[in-house]
């Protein structure tokens, strides 16, 4: 009986101690998590990626040759990449086709980035991609060329009074 | 009436005492599966687990994709433990293609695998807490998981479904300054999980509810073919990281946690002890890891197997032994791929454990088997 009583008091005591510890919850829309690096990138010369968040893609129009390797890499995965005609003319892109990505299908695995041999496709830290329509999730080559601005202000900090997002 | 009908559909004789009760499959404390229990008053007379509601055909899908594009979908069965689910597949493909993995990549894999094991176990523990009506034990693990999810996000760029392991190593190197951050957060994590003892594991209410319920004896555990924490909670010292070390586990000091009781309490405590062991392994791996070097071997665009060949690899996942059998016929796709998962093997013990138990003990016994419905159905 005494064992039971002390056990319950210990459990309550452990809970009460937490009134003094810091709050760990990340208050998401007000605070946003900080990421390492500038998004997931890939270096085809060494064959190794560079650590970063796998978010929305970024397409460099002056590097893309329209070789369709990203689209082929996506074939068995999500089939999110379609090659579309672009109005502009780049001298390395004879066919004038560039990838268009459907984020309703994309699983953010980043295999398309690994497939690109011309440093044309990277991933950025942008993860807020919601839209009111299915068409709004389809990003054209022109939209993919824009580098997003991502707010990052909060990081896990471990203090004497527990961990918190500061 | 023939007896060919699937379980639950056959017309049963109406009994005055025995009532048949369907628990699930709509997820209120059963996962995506159904447990058909026959009860006499408050006591369970018979139990028939009925999995298969979330079958996705992962094994068949694997036959139509090449060795690289198989990666994102093969980690879907257990998204919280995605590195461990992918581990046997990646080891198998490496043997099929004859790839030698760089030393640093092996250590990075061990770190990812142990972090993922903790992330999975914390989620499992949170559900175990809420099954017993202990809502603090739901909130705390769900919050403390975030420390490790943050680390995995730094390494692989995704919070779940990392797609980080590839045949030939890992996708990318660790970010700069990672060792220090990892050590700090893992140490704090270990301090946090030790606090669970007072509030949960030494709590007399939990002990009175779970001790001596659903006892699985050592002989039955071996006979039924259970694995992982269920097997170790019944007193069998069998951990694949120790007995069949893969990658660099033989260079690390792995201690396996064994409890003799074999009851629901022991089965819930062994994964918690395993998490502390995982923290030890991560610290060792960070210390012994080569400070620089390649983490990925460059592969040809569409790697092929060398003719007719088959390979079977298994690893210790969060739920026990997880095996992957790959048969190659020299094409870019595997000819056959089969997974042997710990969840399904542990579920076999459920009818034996529930017989004679009270119905109120069913959730704790069922979830203590470390069962993940999606993994069992593949």
Q: How far apart are the C-alpha atoms of B289 and B179, rounded to whole Å?
A: 10
Q: What is the pLDDT of residue A159?
A: 83
Burial pattern B24-45, b for ≥16 Cβ within 10 A else e, equals bbeeeebbbbbbbbbbeeeebb
**A14 within domain boundaries:** no
Task: Please state the rounded mean pLDDT for residues B148-173.
Answer: 89
| DSSP 3-state of A25 | coil
What pLDDT does B14 receive?
A: 67
Contact B72 A24 (CB under 8 A): no
Chain A neighbours among B 148-207 (CB < 8 Å)? 150, 153-158, 161, 163, 171-176, 184-185, 188, 195, 198-200, 202-205, 207
Rounded CA-CA distance B86/B9 in Å is 36
Whether the per-residue pLDDT at A111 is higher than 60: the answer is yes
B212 touches chain A (CB under 8 A): no
CA–CA gap between residue A103 and residue B70 (Å, rounded):
20
pLDDT in tens, B207-261: 888 888 888 888 988 998 899 889 999 988 888 888 888 888 888 888 888 988 8
The domains found in chain B, sorted by start residue, are: 61-344 (1.10.645.10)
**Confidence bin at B12 (pLDDT 50/70/90):** low
pLDDT, tens digit, 9 for 90 and up, residues B47-81:
888 888 888 888 898 898 888 888 898 888 888 88
pLDDT tens per residue across span A122-153 = 898 888 888 899 888 999 888 888 888 888 88
Q: Does B336 touch chain A (CB under 8 A)?
A: no
**B82: distance to nearest CA of chain A, Å?**
12
Nearest to A165 by CA among A72, A43, A20, A28: A28
All residues of chain B having their beta carbon less than 8 Å from the beta carbon of residue A78 are 72
Strands (E), A5-130: 41-43, 48-50, 57-59, 81-85, 97-102, 121-123
Nearest C-alpha in B relative to A156: B147
Q: Which residues of A touch B66 (CB under 8 A)?
A: 76
Q: If residue A12 lies in a helix (H) or strand (E), which one and from where to where?
A: helix A2-17
For residue A110, list chain B residues with Cβ-Cβ distance below 8 A. Answer: 157, 163, 171
Q: Render pLDDT for B295-342 as a digit per residue (tens, 0 to 9).
A: 888 887 788 878 888 899 999 888 889 999 999 888 888 898 999 988
Nearest to A77 among B69, B154, B298 (CB): B69
Residues from chain A that touch B163, judged by Cβ atoms under 8 A, are: 109-111
A8 and B204 in contact (C-beta within 8 Å)? yes
pLDDT digits (tens, 9 = 90+) for B258-290: 988 888 899 999 999 999 999 999 999 999 888
Domain count, chain A: 1
Across the interface, whether the CB atoms of A7 and B295 are under 8 A apart is answered no
Is there a contact between B72 and A109 if contact means CB atoms under 8 Å apart? yes
Which residues form the domain of A70? 22-165
Q: Is residue A88 part of a domain?
A: yes
- Output the pLDDT for position B210: 87
β-bridge pairing A81-85 and A162-165: unpaired
Q: What is the pLDDT of residues B359-374, one digit of tens each?
A: 888 888 888 888 888 8
Average of pLDDT values for A37-43?
A: 86
Residue with tokens 């270990």: B190
State whether B172 and A36 contact (CB < 8 Å): no
Tokens at residue A68, please?
Answer: 């369709």
Q: Which of B174, B198, B204 lies closest to A3 in CB terms?
A: B204
Question: Strand, helix or coil at A58?
Answer: strand
Distance CA A153, CA A149 (A): 13
The CATH number for A81's domain is 3.30.70
Option in A14, A50, A52 nearest B195 (CB): A14
Question: Mind telling me how many Å the CA of B186 is from chain A's nearest CA?
Answer: 11
Selected for mutation to probe chain A from B72, B157, B191 (highest A CB count within 10 Å) is B157
The reply to whether residue A47 touches residue B297, judged by beta carbons under 8 angstroms, is: yes
Of A8, A26, A50, the CB nearest to B204: A8
HEC string of B221-235 equals HHHCCCCHHHHHHCC
Q: How far is A135 from chain B (nearest CA, A)?
A: 25
Contacts B70 to A, Cβ<8 Å: 76
Among B71, B172, B195, whose Cβ lies nearest the Cβ of A48?
B172
Whether the CB of A44 is below 8 Å from some CB of chain B: the reply is no
Above 70 in pLDDT, residue B112? Answer: yes
**A5 lies in a domain?**
no
Whether pLDDT at A1 is above 70: no
Residue A149: the pLDDT is 86
Q: Are B91 and B105 in contact (CB under 8 A)?
A: no
Interface contact flag, B161 A109, Cβ < 8 Å: yes
Residue A114 in contact with residue A73, Cβ under 8 Å?
A: yes
Q: CA separation (Å) from B303 to B69, B93, B377?
A: 11, 10, 29
What's the pLDDT at B131?
85
Residues of chain B with pLDDT > 90, as a percent, come to 13
Instruction: Please check the confidence at residue B86 and state whether its pLDDT lies above 60.
Output: yes
Residue A150 domain flag:
yes
Task: Output the pLDDT for position B169.
Answer: 87
pLDDT on residue B11:
65
Residue A146 included in any domain: yes
> Given a cut of 70, is residue B8 above it in pLDDT?
no
Calculate the average pLDDT of chain B.
87
Could you tell me which of B326, B85, B349, B329 has the C-alpha nearest to residue B230? Answer: B349
H helix intervals, chain B: 58-61, 70-74, 82-97, 103-131, 136-156, 178-196, 204-210, 218-223, 228-233, 240-243, 264-288, 342-347, 350-354, 362-368, 373-377
Residues 6+ apart with CB under 8 A from A43: A49, A50
User: Hey, which residues 55-74 in chain B have their CB within 8 Å of chain A?
Assistant: 64-66, 68-73
Task: Say yes or no to pLDDT of B294 above 80.
Answer: yes
B 284-313 residues with CB < 8 A to A: 294-299
State how far the alpha carbon of B364 is from the alpha carbons of B124, B292, B311, B353, B367, in Å. 12, 46, 37, 11, 5
Instruction: Confirm whether A10 is domain-assigned.
Output: no
Q: Which residues of B touch A152 (CB under 8 A)?
A: none
User: Which chain A residue lies closest to B134 (C-alpha atoms)?
Assistant: A11
Question: Is residue A43 domain-resident?
Answer: yes
Q: Which residue of B has its CA nearest to A12?
A: B199
| 3-state SS class at B295 | coil
């Amino acid at each position: 009986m005494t064992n039971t009583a002390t056990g319950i008091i210990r459990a309550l005591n452990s809970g009460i101690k937490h009134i003094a510890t810091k709050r760990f919850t990340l208050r998401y829309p007000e605070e946003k998590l900080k990421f390492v690096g500038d998004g997931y990138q890939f270096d085809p010369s060494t064959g190794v990626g560079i650590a970063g968040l796998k978010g929305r893609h970024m397409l460099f129009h002056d590097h893309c040759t329209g070789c369709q390797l990203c689209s082929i890499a996506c074939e068995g995965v999500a089939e999110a990449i379609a090659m579309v005609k672009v109005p502009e003319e780049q001298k390395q892109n004879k066919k004038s086709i560039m990838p268009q990505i459907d984020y309703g299908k994309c699983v953010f695995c980043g295999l398309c980035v690994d497939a690109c041999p011309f440093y044309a496709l990277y991933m950025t830290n942008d993860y807020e991609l919601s839209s009111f329509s299915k068409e709004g999730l389809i990003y054209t080559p022109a939209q993919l060329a824009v580098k997003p601005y991502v707010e990052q202000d909060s990081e896990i900090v471990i203090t004497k009074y527990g961990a918190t997002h500061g | 009436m023939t007896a060919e009908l699937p379980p639950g559909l056959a017309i049963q004789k109406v009994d005055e005492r025995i009532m048949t009760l369907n628990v699930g499959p709509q997820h209120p404390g059963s996962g995506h599966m159904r447990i058909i229990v026959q009860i006499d008053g408050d006591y369970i007379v018979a139990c028939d687990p009925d999995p298969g509601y979330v079958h996705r055909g992962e094994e068949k899908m694997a036959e139509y994709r090449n060795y690289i594009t198989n990666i994102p979908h093969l980690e879907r069965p257990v998204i919280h433990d995605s590195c461990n689910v992918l581990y046997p597949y990646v080891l198998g493909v490496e043997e099929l293609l004859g790839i030698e993995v760089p030393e640093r990549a092996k250590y990075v894999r061990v770190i990812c695998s142990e972090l993922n094991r903790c992330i999975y176990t914390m989620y499992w523990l949170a559900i175990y807490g809420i099954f017993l009506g202990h809502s603090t034990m739901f909130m705390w693990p769900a919050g403390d998981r975030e420390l490790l999810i943050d680390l995995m996000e730094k390494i692989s760029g995704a919070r779940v479904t990392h797609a980080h392991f590839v045949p030939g190593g890992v996708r990318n190197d660790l970010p700069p300054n990672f060792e220090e951050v990892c050590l700090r957060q893992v140490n704090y994590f270990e301090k946090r999980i030790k606090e669970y003892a007072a509030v949960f594991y030494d709590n007399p209410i939990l002990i009175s509810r779970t001790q001596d319920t659903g006892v699985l004896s050592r002989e039955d555990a071996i006979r039924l073919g259970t694995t992982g924490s269920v097997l170790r909670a019944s007193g069998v010292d069998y951990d694949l990281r120790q007995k069949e070390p893969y990658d660099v586990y033989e260079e690390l000091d792995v201690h396996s946690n064994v409890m003799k009781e074999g009851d629901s309490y022991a089965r819930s405590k062994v994964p918690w002890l395993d998490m502390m062991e995982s923290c030890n392994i991560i610290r060792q791996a960070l210390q012994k890891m080569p400070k620089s070097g390649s983490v990925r071997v460059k592969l040809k665009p569409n790697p092929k197997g060398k003719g007719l060949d088959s390979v079977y690899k298994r690893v210790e996942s969060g739920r026990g032994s997880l095996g992957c059998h790959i048969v190659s016929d020299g094409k870019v796709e595997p000819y056959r791929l089969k997974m042997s998962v710990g969840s399904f093997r542990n579920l076999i013990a459920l009818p034996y454990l529930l017989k004679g138990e009270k119905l109120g003990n069913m959730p704790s016994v069922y979830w203590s088997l470390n069962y993940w419905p999606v993994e069992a159905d593949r």
